[in-house]
Chain A
Amino acid sequence: MEQITKNSTKIKKGTSYTLRTALIYIFLIIGLIIILFPFYITIITAFKTTSESAANFFAFPKSFYLDNFKAVLQKANYFTYFFNSVAITVVAVVFILLLTTMCAYAISRNMNHSKYHKAIYYYLLFGIFVPFQAVMVPLVKYTGDLRLNNQTGLVLLHITFAASQAIFLLVNYIRSVPSDLESAALIDGCTIQGAYWRIVLPLIRPMLMTILVLNAMWIWNDFLMSLLILNKSPNTWTIPLFQYNFKSQYTFDYNMAFASYLVAMVPIMIIYAFVQRYIVSGLTQGAVKS
């Protein structure tokens, strides 16, 4: 960063440079306002009463009115949905990391000499081209028949529909990692399972981070799949589903609606504040490598 600015000052000094920098900052600040404006409205409206909002929608609340939150958190069982979301995300992500790395490891080390592994690689890649909406309708009936229209079923679906992309990213990554270390370990009497667990997994940690970030964000925020599988049993809802249904229930009380948007956003914002660096590096890692 510093180098860039230094160099460009070297290249072109003077007023045109200062002016350009000023314009860049003005542009970025306008963008910042556009991004932050919905948050501002959400926060102030959530803390106001309906009459206060009616008087002036944009003004800061005079006092912090908390009944909207009480209604959302207690009446609407927010904490149940929060724990549902946490459980589904954690379980699904753990299984995705474990199962797709096992599969990708086997594929990348065998696809050159094993027809089976080569075939399943292309079989799994095929899924990248198929949108979820193309299979969702039969899937609803099918999961119903198998009695999997519940959270277990949803986790299995998340694993299934994460597989293609994860395998694609992982196979490319593992193939770029030399297999010498594993071969040495195998000759020394290590089992394949041991080599996978102790040698391969630590070596591919950057890509694991990418897959973790991509899928955790995707699953935490997923709406369509949860809508199809869980919508009929309210005690299994996730936060996005609660959001959607809460909104249709309280269409007219928009202060309460904004309070619900705020409580839906808070958990992920807190996590973001702490692990932001890992989220961003996880995302870029995957892009640069693939």
Chain B
Amino acid sequence: MFQQSINKRKRKVRKGSRVMVGFTLPVVILYSLFFLVPLLMGFYYSLTNWNGISKTYKIVGFSNYVKVIMNPRFLNAIWFNARYMVLLVILVTVVSLVIAMALNRTKLCSTLFRSIYFVPAILSLVTVALIWNELFYRVIPVIGQQLGIEWLSTSLLGNPKTAIYAILAVNLWQGCSIPTVLFIAGLQSVPMELYEAATVDGAGRWARFKNITVPFLIPVINMVIITQVKAGLTVFDYIKAMTDGGPGHATEAIGLLVYKYSMQENKYSQSVAVAMILFVIVGMISLITLRITGDKQVEGD
């Protein structure tokens, strides 16, 4: 009888573990079908000379990669993304932190301020980009002329030198909202007693910020940096809607290059090769950022 109940128990456990495997299956199957398979397909096609349409193709090894890397357009895209990412990470972190600290100090209308500062985050990137597109062409040059500022008097998007900053400005206008909210939450987690104690001990404003505020904000800063690194390396919507890579190839980001090669220029195998390189770059930079920010966190604790 004892044995029987053990068997029954075992059956239940086994049935339980079957359910526990079953629970994971929908996600695992979808992920394998729509993520892993396309990733492997991409790698395979990057080794062929397929143009996306023809019935036959042959394996050409890594020559697509060589072709891509030797192409100035690709190097130009990498350079664009590198600059864009660095500026985006720094500016989003600094601007959001400053706004969050200011918002955290307000008492009068603080809810109203916070609600309005968050609004850009809920809009679609395309709508925002299209609105700013019109502003850059029709509104900002007029303001520039009125104020007599020369670099503002023509469209910033039309100039190969300034287009990247115009896109960056739009990205900041929208992209600071969520980090600001996160920073406010972080600032509110700092115990007030610490500030008081530090002030009693004679710590100045900067010393308090550096030694109390920043360590408490490290987890949020890490998260903002990690998300912005990825956002900067994969920027697409703004560029597609505002400049489509132009003027010339001045704002052609890697993501857009992948899109154009495959959808508009029939360079299918080269486009997947670029995509694979992008994958390696994003993976490596994410790992490095995780490593660096992880180290900092230990110091902060």
Contacts and interface: CB of A to CB of B under 8 A. Distances in A.
A196 to B, nearest CB: 7
A106 B116 CA distance: 40
Given A106-B23, A120-B28, A131 B230 contact: yes
B20 A114 contact: yes
Interface residues of B, number: 91
B233 interface: yes
Nearest to A290: B223
A151 to B, nearest CB: 15
B24 A106 contact: yes
Contacts of A127: 31, 35
A72 B182 CA distance: 37
Given A7-B196, A32-B116, A160-B31, A41 B105 contact: no
Contacts of A88: none
Contacts of B125: 221, 223, 240
Contacts of B181: 280, 283-284
A136 to B, nearest CB: 7
A281 to B, nearest CB: 9
A4 B104 contact: yes
A186 B142 CA distance: 70
Nearest to B226: A128
B17 A27 contact: no
Interface string A111-143: 000101100100110011111111111111111
Contact of B126 (A58, A106, A123, A240): A240
Residue from B123, B138, B192 having most chain A Cβ neighbours under 10 A: B123
Contacts of A117: 20, 24
Contacts, number: 256
A105 B16 CA distance: 13
Given A243-B127, A244-B241, A272-B119, A156 B134 contact: no
A159 B198 CA distance: 49
Contact of B105 (A5, A133, A272): A5
B107 A221 contact: no
Interface string B34-52: 1101110110010000001
Interface in A204-253: 217, 220-224, 227, 239-240, 243-244, 247
Residue from B107, B108, B220 having most chain A Cβ neighbours under 10 A: B107
Given A103-B26, A142-B37, A161-B35, A135 B275 contact: yes
Interface string B11-36: 00000110111011011101101110
B84 interface: no
B113 interface: yes
Contacts of B120: 35
Interface string B86-113: 0000000000000100111111101001
B26 A272 contact: no
A141 B37 CA distance: 12
Interface of B: 16-17, 19-21, 23-24, 26-28, 30-31, 33-35, 37-39, 41-42, 45, 52, 99, 102-108, 110, 113-128, 130-132, 134-135, 138-139, 142, 173, 178, 181-182, 185, 189, 192, 195-196, 199, 219-220, 223, 230, 233-234, 236-237, 240-241, 254-255, 258-259, 262, 268, 271-272, 275-276, 278-279, 282-283, 286-287
24 contacts: A1-B107, A4-B105, A5-B107, A7-B195, A24-B105, A25-B108, A34-B173, A41-B131, A57-B139, A103-B23, A107-B24, A110-B20, A127-B31, A129-B282, A129-B283, A133-B254, A134-B278, A138-B45, A142-B41, A221-B124, A221-B125, A222-B124, A240-B124, A288-B185
Given A130-B35, A247-B130, 17 more contacts: A7-B196, A32-B113, A32-B116, A38-B173, A105-B23, A106-B21, A127-B31, A131-B230, A138-B38, A143-B34, A221-B123, A221-B124, A223-B236, A243-B126, A258-B131, A258-B134, A279-B122
